[in-house]
Amino acid sequence: MKLERKVQLISYPDSLGGNLAELNRLLDTKLSGLFPGGIHILPPFPSSGDRGFAPLTYLEIEPQFGNWEDIRSIAEKQPLILDLMVNHISAQSEYFQDFLSKGNQSQFADLFITLDKLWPDEQPFEEDINKIFLRRELPYSEYETSAGSLKVWTTFGKTNPSEQIDLDIHSAQTRDLFSTYLKSFHKNKVRIVRLDAVGYVIKKMGTSCFFVEPEIYEFLDWINQEANALGITLLPEIHADPAIQYKLAERGYWIYDFILPYTLLNAYINRTSKALKSYLQTRPHNQFTMLDCHDGIPIKPDLNGLYEYAEAAKLVETCIERGGNLSLIVSPEHQDPNGFDVHQIRGTLYSLMDCNDDAYLGARALQLFTPGIPQIYYVGLLAGENDVLAVQKTGEGRELNRHNYTLAEINQAIEKPVVQKLFRLIHLRNTHPAFDGEFSVNPSDDSSISLEWKQDNNFARLEIDFDSTGYKLVYNKPDISSTIDFS
């Protein structure tokens, strides 16, 4: 399926007005025309944790959010994106609950990765554990079943035992389950499926158990074939070394531009455009661009080999001063030799840019000028600031950037000048014919950048001065030049 390179929205099902019906109404009214590229609704399924990323099933919508009719109503007006967590499922799912009840006699036992599939007598080798790219202290949890205590692979999860149980993608039963879920998505008009945490699906001892080649390609090729037969486009979500992302792009997959957010922040905070210009001139164009999301701004491993330590340290320190917090790398082997261990920086983009309207709008303009499909996170759309109270209440650092907006808060936010100007930028990106043409990075000094799109007699040019944080847009409208400074 050919994707339109127009702007998309990312939102939780309950973050803009409280439910899917209100989200749909907003898309028809206050947000009308902003997102012809699509809507990415973060997991709306019944879930036992991780704000939807521990799904019980993909065949139902959580009733407090709405129902499949709400999903179809949204999907009929623009492409709809939903997640498929191919790495794991909830411990409260009927499959794992049956496994707990019956142990290895369960009809679903083969869905899961008991440690005897990997090590004799379920005894992990320390040298194997040390090589794994860990997301928690150990990659497995221990559960009591009718057959006694069993250890099961659990890549993610803050609890012990974890609420997120890894699936065995080598099992025919698991693949049948994925096929069933994809068919349900197709029936309900879902056009794009994000494969969340797909980089972790291969467990192979003696490796990092992350993006294990060539096995990962066999799985991706299989599920891509299943999806394509249903007219669904897949978007693999992989936080990895840049070389890995580019391998996927070369194989024809759309990928996430996890490099852009840090590189852009670095330009503003360290007042240098050198790395940003170099990156924009060489990056693949089949990417979904993002500056903010429900997790954080990636550094390791997404920018391994691309950042200077001194610049990264200053950037991280500045973001913390502006109210951000950090997600860190657990595995010592995957930290830098100097101890630098920042996985992601968490906070709203508006807060991390010091609530500076000009800098924020310049950053968004740069995202919209970058080739690919731009995704705007709902908090960023409304220029939201860090939700410190939510972090204090939940103890979850990512809640800084996960505020749930009431309708009154949405109406108030939309009236802010910075948000009105962002809406105009988005409309420009969606409608100006120059963005269907050729992209170029024009010559500029090391503290500024000039980006341009041209198609026939149409053009749009963006200039940013990182010393002053000012920016300027120039474009034809329709036959004469206009300079827009959004002041």
Residue of 196, 292, 302, 357 with catalytic role: 196
Catalytic status, residue 237: yes
Between β-strands 164-166 and 192-196, what pairing exists: parallel, antiparallel or unpaired? unpaired
Specify the DSSP class assigned to residue 435: G
Catalytic status, residue 142: no
Contact by Cβ (8 Å): 390, 400: yes
CB-based contacts of 60, cutoff 8 Å, min separation 6: 45, 46
Question: Residues 100, 104, 107, 113: is their CA dihedral positive or negative?
Answer: positive
Between β-strands 8-11 and 38-41, what pairing exists: parallel, antiparallel or unpaired? parallel
Neighbouring C-alpha atoms within 13 Å toward the C-beta of 125: 10
Q: E-strand spans in 244-310?
A: 255-257, 287-289, 297-298
| Secondary element (H or E) of residue 456 | none
Residue of 70, 83, 237, 387 with catalytic role: 237
Reduce the DSSP state of residue 475 to 3 states and report it. strand
Contact by Cβ (8 Å): 241, 303: no
Contact by Cβ (8 Å): 239, 301: yes
Print the SS3 string covering 331-367: CHHHCCCCCCCEEEEECCHHHHCCCCHHHHHHHHHHH
Q: Residue 128 CB: number of other CB atoms within 10 A?
A: 17
Catalytic residues: 196, 237
